[in-house]
Structure 1
Amino acid sequence: MSSIIIRGARLHNLKNVSLTLPKGKLIAFTGVSGSGKSTLAFDTLHQEAQRQYMESLGMVTYTSKPPVDSISGLSPSISVDQGLTNTSPRSTVGTATEVFTYLRVLYARIGHRPCPRCGKDVPPPYEGASNDVWDDDLDELPGPNGTPADPQATDDASVACPHCGARLPAMDMAMFSFNKPTGACPTCTGLGTIYSPDLSRLLDEDKGLLDGGVTSWEPSMIAWNAASLQAAGRHYGFDLDPARPIRELGPVQRDALLYGVLSDAFQRHYPGVEPPTTVAKGRFEGVVTTLLRRHAEHASDADYLAKIERFLILQTCPDCGGACLRPESRAVTVAGRHLVPLAAGDAHANEAASRLSLQAIAEWIDELRDVLPDAEWRIAEAVIVGLRERVRRLIEVGLGYLTLERATPSLSAGEGQRLRLAALLGSGLTGVLYVLDEPTIGLHPRDTSRLMRILRALRDAGNTVLVIEHDTEVIASADWVVDFGPGAGRDGGHIDAQGAPKEIAQTPASLTGRYLSGAAAISIPPQRRSSDGPFLTIHGAREHNLQDITVRIPLRATNGRGGMLVAVTGVSGSGKSSLLFDILDRAARQRHYGANTQPGAHAAISGWEHLDKIITINQAPIGRSTRSNAATYTDAFTPIRHAFAAQPAARALGLTARHFSFNVPGGRCERCEGAGVLAVSMHFLPDVLVRCPTCHARRFKREVLSVRYAHPDGRRKDDGSPRDTRGYDISQVLDMTIAEALTLFGDVPAARTRLALMVETGLSYLQLGQPASTFSGGEAQRVKLARELARRSTGRTLYLLDEPTTGLHPADIVHLLSLLQRLVDAGNTVVVIEHSLDVVKVADWVIDLGPEGGAAGGRIIAEGTPETVAATPSSHTGALLHRALSPTHAG
């Protein structure tokens, strides 16, 4: 069958959609946010493809069939969404892509190391070996489908130093793994960081022990701990006055207080003295020692860790310097290059393989043939061929600037998605349906053409590639386009147009078509704000790849015209996030809120006095709890609960606003505790969520649901259709979209303000009770933005936003820009990291970093108005901006 035929898709807001999709093509789903694209692509097509495939293999599946009459011609599908699959702090770009696995094999087979006795070089043991000798070892490498295989060497053979005869253990892959005890640094266990006490938070030096001088002690334990310390003093023969200020304690008393009587720090004062046998007799553990012990014991308890980490600082491991490996592993070299930095403060640390970008790794690999001896090349050739291929695919998807040691949790949604896309390129699969969610997220427009070549390569291999996209360049390059609309939520779910991009552009009913044809465009403001200062200036920024740059952010427009809208641009990896979030945001948190996270490397920041606060709104998840939603997060649900509590029926039953909350006992269903579902343990399989049999997924008790809220104004809605005069119960309200809730609660001022802001940020389609854990990165950011906008502004606030247009159709971007301009008009300054030229071209000031990513970036290429940047020949952003500002594209 040459087509995928869908009949009667009705999930969520889809309106009995039927359509035919050509197989073996590049298909773009587009439309305003919430129009039904993801519902059809992921929740219908991908889910049904998985279900059919699992059933064809006779395997048990707990995936229900989506509400659709039929889907025929469906292929096995693979989805690549925006989420990160691995959030472990041990996961890095090198381990996630298995590039580090290849390097571990390479260093284990042909690595040179110094002899621990004479210090001279010990070469690999089989320098004259042929490739046949190593065939079995090469089986350790990942296969073509990316399946990891890491069997550990069991040969106990040792290697003799050719100079002094000292015996060294044979090297294997485990020796170069920071996830295994044989390779990990013993101090930090391979994490590269350790927690150390923040004494400025832990101690109030001007107070005595009995007056609360140790801030981590519970009040009820102060007297007990002080008594134990005094008992230790009597045992060892030193005085300790618990009323004396801590800063006046001597070295002995201080070491006893901080590290305890069993610590080396204390016992050096009393060598040979037996410690006390009980706590009451003076066996005091020490404030710092207790904190670190409890931190290790409660590693899986996030809430408990949060309390303890207030008194701790995360620091680079002093022994390995963040390299994560033990000293013997760090000393090994291939062609004179270490796998990881040799030691903390190593002058050549950035030359280690793990510190190199993928682009630099590719260049080093190409040099190895010329620098390795023939014997070593014969051993390494097969490894290097596989390594080169993996690195090449990662560079192709635009990730060449990433370093191998970069932690995967720190990657953006777009970077994580392209990391998985690179793995798919080497799979060799055909006849597959690939479903991708906005693959251009976080990608500079300069690199879009390269991404399109990759998507076409997947298509040309015999696959169907379906992308959800808002980027007009991607849409125009697709073979087939399906435009959803016309609106969001219940106003969407229809197919406005489908066909080739040219046909969509000629369809008047298609909103996307109007942007493709140029009939609609985001306009450039007739007059930009200019600024002569004041400025917030970041001096000597050196974090990551930033090249000791000084950046000025204008805060006020001249002639009292409000604040400034500033765009920070540059190709992926050029240093934008390092500048705004690793340096500026962390420094602001430390200055204003006393955060213990250290800001990135920089000399100083001046101009704080011109700001009251800095608010950062990024794409990090709001929370993992299914109880948090857009209504509770923005506090729109509180006035709604009070509106229900004010109804005569609620008063008659004695119900208060508390009874209309699903988070606390009272009015919620106690069988499911207000969740509406129950988790059924499947033992070795993931838990299955089933509808609560008591409340039938309605979350509340029957008497609470008997209270209904009706719109106080008239019998008809704005569109003329009849209004439900019986009103709605609290469960029905949570099932409403934000736009519908705004209509219903238009006469409740506090609710109206917050709901209207969410509509303006492009979230009208979200259900009021939709769990925050299901939000995309862009949705989470816009919910945060709506919450901040609802707060009273001082007109002296700096807002930092990370790609706020993520997930937005051009028509939605118009509303977002209007909202940001209102913030600026009120005197605030808004700084956005942005790749969308629709935002950059309307900014008042642009700071363009580059010219490339990684080590080739980190410099200011241009700054000034968009017109100034567009006139800068060396700016990649400028070249594209010049076109966007031309009369035919300006709108």
Structure 2
Amino acid sequence: MSTSGLSGSGKSTLAFDTLYAEGQRRYVESLSTYARQFLERLDKPDVDMIDGLSPAIAIEQKTASHNPRSTVGTVTEIYDYLRLLFARIGTPHCYKCGKPITSQTLDQIVDKVMAMTEGTRITILSPIVTGQKGTHEKLLKHLKRDGFARVRINGEILEIEDVYNLDKNKKHTIDVVVDRLIVKENIKNRLADSLELAISLSDGIANIDIPDKESILFSEKSACITCGISYPEFTPASFSFNSPQGACPKCDGLGSTNVFDPDLIIPNPELSLREGAVAPWAGRNTVLFFEFLDALTMHYGVDIYTPYKNLPDNFKNVLLYGSGDEQISFYFERNNRRFNYRKPFEGIIPRLERRYIETDSYQAREEIRYYISFRPCPECQGTKLNKESRSVKVGGLTISEITAFTVTKAYTFLTKLELSGKKKIIAKRILKELTERLGFLDNVGLSYLTLDRSAYTLSGGESQRIRLATQIGSKLTGVLYVLDEPSIGLHQRDNQRLIGTLLQMRNYGNTILVVEHDEETILSSDYVIDMGPGAGINGGQVVFSGTPKELLKDKNSLTGQYLSRRKKIEVPSRRRKVSWKKLVIKGASGNNLKNIDVEFPLGCFICITGVSGSGKSTLVLETLYRSLAQRLYHSRIPSRKHQNIAGLDQIDKVVNINQSPIGRTPRSNPGTYTGVFTFIRELFSRTVEARMRGYKPGRFSFNVKGGRCEACNINVRQEMHFYLYYAVAVTCLASSALNIEAETT
């Protein structure tokens, strides 16, 4: 069912403030008084009677989360199932050498040895020294005292009696020969005893040597025998970047750190050092400073007038990070005397870091902060996980590599994942949940999203469709779903898939009420309620209710007239001429962009189109806007990768109008947000009565004492609290719901 009509005609009031509010209120009131205190309470709508109302769920266009840790994977619970999958069937790999790490019980080791070809000769060894210098005299004496007769030193088996004078300056590898056996049926007990002894000597490791074949290492622990690195037992928390067990210790699971950004330090690489390419050095025009600069460039044989972009890379590195231990000769002249001294060059970034830590000046800190931006964590490369968790693989991929996939690619990988034996049984139900959730996201037109994309970067429409996909997965029945324009931001190519998803939810036995302007969605509805006839005080009436076919024939419905093409929006016959002034982005390659060059003519109304996920937001918001914000407002958010942007000098202001709500507090309203209320207060303060009473503009403000109503503190409503019951809100009698102090009103 769709509700259509002009913006402001009452669609949302009917759907959300009336039907959803009453449905939610009735459901909450059916719960115990104890449970109610934890749930949100909505105001009872101004309605006489509603019959046949079921429990309601609203899916609005709100950003899913402002938490930098929230991702598409965590919001949809896909990441929770991935964590479970990796904890149960993942294979750890050494983060140094890359070899797989497995742990076996003593019984498993015995079974593997007994499975060898009968008659195979084996030597059971216990590695006790691996690549260590020394004579190891005490160790050998201890082994001899314990009754061991043979050892293998550096690959050669020797009698302990014959071992003496090992070179203390060379590295040695020593294995104790625990037993020598021939594989056959009656050796199982002796084999188990020998293996147990070998494992106890070497802290969980046994080596089975087979003549003319490669030795087989067994371990009771998750550890890399080659590198000596032990691994903890992996649990789902080990793969959570919100848990100390899994989070990267460098960035605490955020995936990014604050670093001094060379692009902010050198904002214009076209300039030379002499022309002021280095922003922190701007304004330094003293003789001493240029003497220092001359000495530095002379030492490395570069020209002070060469544009920064053409300087050698090694000199750029020295300039930014310092010369290390390399001494540089600096000199200056004073009063006809020449002074020389030699010292390493500290580097711009180390100097800024030191000043930022040492200074007590707030102003100095703020100036230095201009050159700091968020960059991917150098330790985890933005994956948010520690190195142990990043080394566990399923199907040859780590959990970070899978979450970097788009929804479509992740679905393909998981459906084609080949497992066998016990792992296949364990993973069966987990994979079913994963593929279902990925399929739901694909059906609502979000196949282009990567699972590691931050939730706060999603548009309102994308966030809404994610919540819609989550609701599909819950498979509730008998529920009233209220949706706010689910098709917004979705390309027409994907519209039918979204509509199919809504029909699927309906077929579960639910009622779907959609506030919508999209033609295809309205015409696919079973029933349409058209609000109008106008907006605001001219709206609020049901102009039409019936089937879409009846809507097309209705003469009173403005929506029906446009849908039936009886009315249409004419295409302008004349267009504004394209200006020769333009912004040009070259080599934009962020996310899915393919190293493209794009021109934006200035002074025009420009429209960027394309299917969902084609790169529109990456190009405009994450590349162009962020670059302008960095240049004009010293923004610390880095732009997406690109070569350069020409024409930035023609722009002196940039405004990003996004879908974030404009009201941050209950005191905010259209008048205060737009600034109109300032003029209204000025106007009232100039009236005769206000001047007689000595009222200033502040007297007419509900944000300051003297103007606001102190009885309700401008909240319009006062709450009366009752034990174990909801607080009852009543209209403030002192201000009569006007926010302003009674005498002023």
**TM-score w.r.t. structure 1 length?**
0.57
Structure 1 residue 119, shift from structure 2 partner = 5.2
Cα–Cα, structure 1 residues 158 and 524, in superposed 2: closer, same or farther, change >3 Å? Answer: farther
Cα–Cα, structure 1 residues 119 and 507, in superposed 2: closer, same or farther, change >3 Å? Answer: closer
1:30–1:469 contact (8 Å) kept in structure 2: yes
1:197–1:288 contact (8 Å) kept in structure 2: no
SS in 1 for 2:482: strand
CA distance in 2, matches of 1:178, 1:48: 39
Q: Counterpart amino acid of 2:708?
A: R
1:590–1:596 contact (8 Å) kept in structure 2: yes
After TM superposition, list the pairs within 5 Å mapping 1:387-402 onto structure 2.
387-402=434-449
After TM superposition, list the pairs within 5 Å mapping 1:295-314 onto structure 2.
312-314=372-374
Corresponding residue for residue 221 of structure 2: 159
SS in 2 for 1:385: helix
Cα–Cα, structure 1 residues 658 and 476, in superposed 2: closer, same or farther, change >3 Å? Answer: same
CA distance in 1, matches of 2:608, 2:46: 44
Q: Counterpart amino acid of 1:526?
A: S
Q: Root-mean-square deviation (CA), in Å?
A: 3.6
SS in 2 for 1:565: coil
CA distance in 2, matches of 1:426, 1:63: 26
Cα deviation 1:111-156 (Å, max 9, x = unaligned): 2223468753214769x99xxxxxxxxxxxxxxxxxxxxxxxxxxx
Cα deviation 1:232-266 (Å, max 9, x = unaligned): xxxxxxxxxxxxxxxx9987999998667xxxxxx
**Equivalent of 1:414 in 455, 458, 461:** 461
CA distance in 2, matches of 1:440, 1:640: 39
Cα deviation 1:623-651 (Å, max 9, x = unaligned): 41222222122221122222222222222
**Equivalent of 1:444 in 478, 491, 510:** 491
Corresponding residue for residue 178 of structure 1: 241
CA distance in 2, matches of 1:257, 1:679: 57
Cα–Cα, structure 1 residues 322 and 489, in superposed 2: closer, same or farther, change >3 Å? Answer: same
Cα deviation 1:485-527 (Å, max 9, x = unaligned): 1111221111111111121222211111111111111111123
After TM superposition, list the pairs within 5 Å mapping 1:795-814 onto structure 2.
none
2:102–2:222 contact (8 Å) kept in structure 1: no
2:224–2:230 contact (8 Å) kept in structure 1: no
Cα–Cα, structure 1 residues 642 and 362, in superposed 2: closer, same or farther, change >3 Å? Answer: same
Corresponding residue for residue 523 of structure 2: 476
CA distance in 1, matches of 2:710, 2:51: 43
Cα–Cα, structure 1 residues 627 and 311, in superposed 2: closer, same or farther, change >3 Å? Answer: farther
CA distance in 1, matches of 2:722, 2:358: 40
**Residues 1:383 and 2:452 are matched in the alignment:** no
Structure 1 residue 54, shift from structure 2 partner = 2.1
Corresponding residue for residue 705 of structure 2: 665
Corresponding residue for residue 73 of structure 2: 94
After TM superposition, list the pairs within 5 Å mapping 1:280-359 onto structure 2.
287-288=356-357, 312-340=372-400, 352-359=401-408
Structure 1 residue 48, shift from structure 2 partner = 0.9
**Residues 1:488 and 2:535 are matched in the alignment:** yes
After TM superposition, list the pairs within 5 Å mapping 1:651-690 onto structure 2.
651-677=691-717
Corresponding residue for residue 41 of structure 1: 15
CA distance in 2, matches of 1:255, 1:309: 12
Corresponding residue for residue 5 of structure 2: 31
**Residues 1:187 and 2:256 are matched in the alignment:** no
Cα deviation 1:679-738 (Å, max 9, x = unaligned): 789999999866446434322223321xxxxxxxxxxxxxxxxxxxxxxxxxxxxxxxxx
Cα–Cα, structure 1 residues 181 and 158, in superposed 2: closer, same or farther, change >3 Å? Answer: farther
Q: Counterpart amino acid of 2:375?
A: Q
**Larger radius of gyration, structure 1 or 2?**
2
Corresponding residue for residue 46 of structure 2: 67
Gaps of 5+ in 1: 1-26, 130-156, 209-247, 261-285, 295-304, 341-351, 556-562, 706-891
Higher alpha-carbon deviation: 82-91 or 495-504: 82-91
Corresponding residue for residue 109 of structure 1: 88
Corresponding residue for residue 614 of structure 1: 654
Cα–Cα, structure 1 residues 91 and 681, in superposed 2: closer, same or farther, change >3 Å? Answer: farther
Cα deviation 1:814-863 (Å, max 9, x = unaligned): xxxxxxxxxxxxxxxxxxxxxxxxxxxxxxxxxxxxxxxxxxxxxxxxxx
Corresponding residue for residue 243 of structure 1: none
**Residues 1:543 and 2:590 are matched in the alignment:** yes
Corresponding residue for residue 574 of structure 1: 614
CA distance in 1, matches of 2:507, 2:635: 51
**Residues 1:586 and 2:626 are matched in the alignment:** yes
Cα–Cα, structure 1 residues 451 and 590, in superposed 2: closer, same or farther, change >3 Å? Answer: same
Structure 1 residue 418, shift from structure 2 partner = 0.6
CA distance in 2, matches of 1:391, 1:47: 31
1:590–1:597 contact (8 Å) kept in structure 2: yes
Cα–Cα, structure 1 residues 319 and 659, in superposed 2: closer, same or farther, change >3 Å? Answer: same
CA distance in 2, matches of 1:256, 1:431: 63
Identity of aligned residues (%): 43
Q: Counterpart amino acid of 2:417?
A: L
Structure 1 residue 658, shift from structure 2 partner = 2.5
SS in 1 for 2:3: strand
Q: Counterpart amino acid of 1:159?
A: K
Cα deviation 1:743-785 (Å, max 9, x = unaligned): xxxxxxxxxxxxxxxxxxxxxxxxxxxxxxxxxxxxxxxxxxx
Higher alpha-carbon deviation: 184-193 or 662-671: 662-671
CA distance in 1, matches of 2:79, 2:559: 43
Q: Counterpart amino acid of 1:287?
A: Y
Corresponding residue for residue 604 of structure 2: 564
CA distance in 2, matches of 1:32, 1:443: 20
Corresponding residue for residue 417 of structure 2: 368
Cα deviation 1:306-361 (Å, max 9, x = unaligned): 99966742222121111100011111211211222xxxxxxxxxxx1121001000
**Equivalent of 1:168 in 231, 234, 239:** 231
Structure 1 residue 656, shift from structure 2 partner = 2.5
CA distance in 2, matches of 1:403, 1:682: 48
Cα–Cα, structure 1 residues 290 and 172, in superposed 2: closer, same or farther, change >3 Å? Answer: farther
Cα–Cα, structure 1 residues 117 and 249, in superposed 2: closer, same or farther, change >3 Å? Answer: closer
SS in 2 for 1:325: coil
Structure 1 residue 290, shift from structure 2 partner = 7.9
2:734–2:742 contact (8 Å) kept in structure 1: no
1:695–1:701 contact (8 Å) kept in structure 2: yes
Structure 1 residue 98, shift from structure 2 partner = 1.3
Q: Counterpart amino acid of 1:92?
A: T
**TM-score w.r.t. structure 2 length?**
0.68
Corresponding residue for residue 137 of structure 2: none
1:662–1:675 contact (8 Å) kept in structure 2: no
Q: Work out the number of aligned pairs and report it.
A: 556
Corresponding residue for residue 308 of structure 2: none
Corresponding residue for residue 185 of structure 2: none
**Residues 1:81 and 2:141 are matched in the alignment:** no
1:178–1:185 contact (8 Å) kept in structure 2: yes
Q: Counterpart amino acid of 1:495?
A: V
1:438–1:470 contact (8 Å) kept in structure 2: yes
Cα deviation 1:83-122 (Å, max 9, x = unaligned): 1343211110011111111211222222222346875321
CA distance in 1, matches of 2:52, 2:22: 12
CA distance in 1, matches of 2:451, 2:702: 45
Structure 1 residue 162, shift from structure 2 partner = 8.4
Cα deviation 1:397-439 (Å, max 9, x = unaligned): 1111110110111111011111011111122222111111111
1:120–1:163 contact (8 Å) kept in structure 2: no
After TM superposition, list the pairs within 5 Å mapping 1:687-766 onto structure 2.
691-692=731-732, 694-705=734-745
